[in-house]
Amino acid sequence: MAANSQFSMAVHVLMMLARSREENVKSDYIAKSVNTNPVVIRRLLGQLNHANLVVSQTGANGGTRLARCPKEINLAEVYKAVSCGEVFALHGKSPNPDCPVGKNIEAVLCNLQKEIYQSIGDKLSQFTLQSVFEMVEPAA
Amino acid sequence: MAANSQFSMAVHVLMMLARSREENVKSDYIAKSVNTNPVVIRRLLGQLNHANLVVSQTGANGGTRLARCPKEINLAEVYKAVSCGEVFALHGKSPNPDCPVGKNIEAVLCNLQKEIYQSIGDKLSQFTLQSVFEMVEPAA
DNA sequence: TTATTTGTAGCTAATATAGTTACAAAGGTT
DNA sequence: AACCTTTGTAACTATATTAGCTACAAATAA
């Protein structure tokens, strides 16, 4: 369990919210569909809330709703909300600064990282929650 | 140490090979620049060799060379050589098949994965080892 | 007041990655 | 042939990340 499935879970969670518009959905209910623990869902919802994609309410009849309608949220926003911004990691230990390659490689890789992150964002911004929902439930 | 830095290391390694064209470079020498253990480098070179990007030779005066000139290798090939093809992971446990969302979400996410992977490939194919080398050592 | 639900701290378990040691196999050199 | 160098790879350890769990305080509705 060391692969980052936060984005996958986030999309799943948001699909659950999308099919219950204007209604508070409970973490417990979502957890059963995702097949995980409610706390995992609540942590994820915390990140989505932080990014203003969802709104939560404590207390009886509490739960979570989408902050906007599914047409107005795209997957790039979701990705940014849950990712650390790194598609690949930079070196663990710093390269040797006495080597002409080692000296500069990190800066170059860092720029490359940003370019890739941007590409992913561009691609994901083409998908709205609405469009993904139509793929998940074509009949609806 | 649980972030995947293989791509970063691979680019670093290939830069070392690019600056010593036609010469066998030893894993020990590369390891000093990357600041890691020679075995880590040799494992990485094994993957690059498998993808026909480099050629290795055992024995005295052995080492590794680029299989082609730096203009003819691009970063998409490197990425494919060392990555598992997943930008984000699918759910660890399978979603609940009794839920309309849970039932179909994995297939949709899997397609999304492929689209993103493709986007990354498109972006990375714009960079050759030569062009990256010129960023790393602008004076050369 | 009571029941319900989120938010979050703190822990455990599982997994991936890097790093290390050790050594067989390959291939030059003398 | 004997020797030295270097790769290839197996097997292990250490560390970091992620998911999952329990427990409980705070918020809120009825």
pTM: 0.94
Residue nearest C19, CA–C1′ metric: B37
Nearest residue in chain A measured CA to CA from B131: A108
Contact (CB<8Å) A105/B5:
no
Q: Which residues pair with B63 in a beta bridge?
A: B57
Cα(B80)–Cα(A122) distance, integer angstroms: 21
Contact (CB<8Å) A3/B112:
no
What residues of A are in contact with residue B137 (Cβ under 8 Å)?
A: 100-101, 104
Residue B84 CA: distances (Å) to CA of A104, B16, B20: 27, 24, 29
Using the CA of B92, give the nucleotide whose C1' is nearest.
D19
**Which nucleotides of strand C lie under 7 Å from a protein CB?**
3-10, 13-22, 25-29
Contact (CB<8Å) A108/B136:
yes
pLDDT digits (tens, 9 = 90+) for B114-126: 999 999 999 999 9
Digit-by-digit pLDDT tens for chain A (140 residues) are 667 899 999 999 999 999 998 899 999 999 999 999 999 999 999 999 999 999 999 999 999 999 999 999 999 999 999 998 889 999 989 999 999 999 999 999 999 999 999 999 999 999 999 999 999 999 76
